[in-house]
Amino acid sequence: MPTTITAAVLREVGAPLSLESVLIDDPLDNEVLVRVERVGLCHSDLHYVHGSLSIDLPTVLGHEVAGVVDRVGAAVTRFAPGDRVVATVTPACGMCDQCLRGRPTQCQRVDIVRARPRPKHWLPNSDALGALGGVGAFAEAILVGEGSLATVDDALPFEVACLLGCCITTGVGAVVHGAGIGPNDTVAVIGCGGVGVSAIQGARIAGARRVVAIDAVPAKLEAAKRLGATDVLVASADADETVAALHALVPGGVDHAIEAVGRTATAELAFACLAPTGAATILGLMPEGSRLSLPADALVYGDRTVRGAYMGANRFLSDVAMFTDHYRAGRLDLDAMVTRVVDFGDINDGLAAMSDPDTVRIVVDMTSARA
């Protein structure tokens, strides 16, 4: 029998989320029903709220999630009720060409992996309700395939464990899997929100010899320096001035630039920051139809490259153990990334607070709905 839960529903672009009673289905054979404990607020959620990315409405947003397994389908073998888990929006089949090459975020069968014969959620009037990335974590419970989950160690409180599902996976993943940064490298990270600060920490863990944090908001640079940046730079409205200031810090440019904002201007700035043979890794999601303009001579004569790394090109099911070990050893500071925890009923206030200068990550306590 479907279960009644409370979910934050996006019904109209630009409108606040509305807390509503909805129905969530029972697990199918390979699915797991998870009681949500904490959810991180990600800028991609805001993109859907503001309409810069499109999604069918009504829907439940949210994807950076940690919780406890409540029920499992008949064919599930990796989880049992009571397990602590984190989820990903990039489940993989493990069998297609991309998965076999170690690129699970580009799984060619992801739509098949997510497919089910009926909707996961219904409204009380029986209308189907969507779920972002097949997750829909702004709710008391989520229903996902077994391959979307990884067990998380008791050493990680839920308030930081949820970060593994997106910002840590994307930022640290971009360093380890996307860019392949090492001890001989110099790095610039453009944008010091949750993903950018995660990339800074990843570059520090990887041993990069210089890590320059770039942001237009000075308050964000303070957090970046505490979490591993060797240098900070306030971005100018004039990209040439920003590049000149970077060159004053790292003559000739950096080996790697990571863009974590989601704007064409900052993606182009990442390329402009590169030394010859350097690589720009673009992480930020941009409005559909966006185009980049790059100087062809710098691209060809300088052997520079630009690449995307969707969700950091992560390998989620194995990466969670890596993140956990670094956290336990004190090398990955997740606690300092949580700026504020808000109750589920205050989720719209949390979304609004994401623009505050001192915000790195805001986490929603979903248990408040059950109190």
**Range 181-199 average pLDDT:** 97
Cα–Cα distance measured from residue 10 to residue 48, given in angstroms and rounded to the nearest whole number: 9
Query: What superfamily would CATH give domain 173-309?
Result: NAD(P)-binding Rossmann-like Domain (3.40.50.720)
Query: For residue 114, what are the contacts with CB-CB under 8 A and spacing of at least 6?
Result: 91, 134, 145
d(CA 25, CA 6): 13
Token pair belonging to 332: 């990955």
Residues of the chain with CATH 3.40.50.720: 173-309
* Largest CA-CA distance found in the chain, in angstroms, rounded: 64
The CATH 3.90.180.10 portion of the chain extends over: 3-156+334-370
In b/e form, how buried is each residue of 231-264, taking b as 16+ CB within 10 angstroms?
Answer: bbbebeeeeeebbeebeeebeebbbbbbbbbbeb
Whether the link from the prior residue into 58 is cis, omega within 30° of 0, is yes
Rounded mean pLDDT of 320-341?
A: 96
Rounded to two decimals, the pTM is 0.94
Other Cβ atoms closer than 10 A to 219: 12
pLDDT of residue 84: 98
Q: Does residue 1 surpass a pLDDT of 90?
A: no
pLDDT higher than threshold 90 for residue 284: yes
**Residue carrying the six token digits 């497919």:** 115
99-142 tens-digit pLDDT: 999 999 999 999 999 999 999 999 999 899 999 999 999 999 99
pLDDT in tens, 69-82: 999 999 999 999 99
Q: Which two tokens stand for residue 10?
A: 């996006």
Instruction: Check residue 111 and give its pLDDT.
Output: 92
* pLDDT value at residue 368: 78
pLDDT of residue 106: 96
Pick the CATH number of 3-156+334-370 from 3.90.180.10, 3.30.2010.10, 3.40.50.280, 2.40.160.40: 3.90.180.10
Beta pairing class for 305-308 and 274-282: parallel
Judged against a pLDDT cut of 60, whether residue 371 lies above it is answered with: no
DSSP string, 262-315: --HHHHHHHHHTEEEEEEEEE-S---TT------HHHHHHTT-EEEE-GGGG--
Residue 155 burial by Cβ neighbours in a 10 Å radius (0-12, 13-18, 19+): exposed
- Please state the φ and ψ torsions of residue 193, each to the nearest 5 degrees: -80, -155
Question: What is the predicted pLDDT for the residue at 126?
Answer: 87
Strands 338-343 and 3-10: unpaired
Which tens digit of pLDDT belongs to each residue from 250-259? 999 999 999 9
pLDDT number for residue 186 = 98
Read off the pLDDT band of 288 (50, 70, 90): confident
CA distance 47 to 11: 14
The reported pLDDT for the residue numbered 370 is: 65
Structure tokens at 109: 């069968």
Contacts of 326 (CB under 8 A, 6+ apart): 205, 332
- pLDDT classification of 369: cutoffs 50, 70, 90: low
CA dist 27 → 2, 20, 64, 103, 168 (Å): 9, 21, 20, 28, 28
Per cent of the chain over pLDDT 70 is 99
Please state the rounded mean pLDDT for residues 180-207. 97
Predicted local confidence at residue 245, as pLDDT: 98
Write down the mean pLDDT value for the chain: 95
CA of 205: how far to CAs of 164, 176, 229, in Å? 16, 10, 11
pLDDT attached to residue 91 = 94
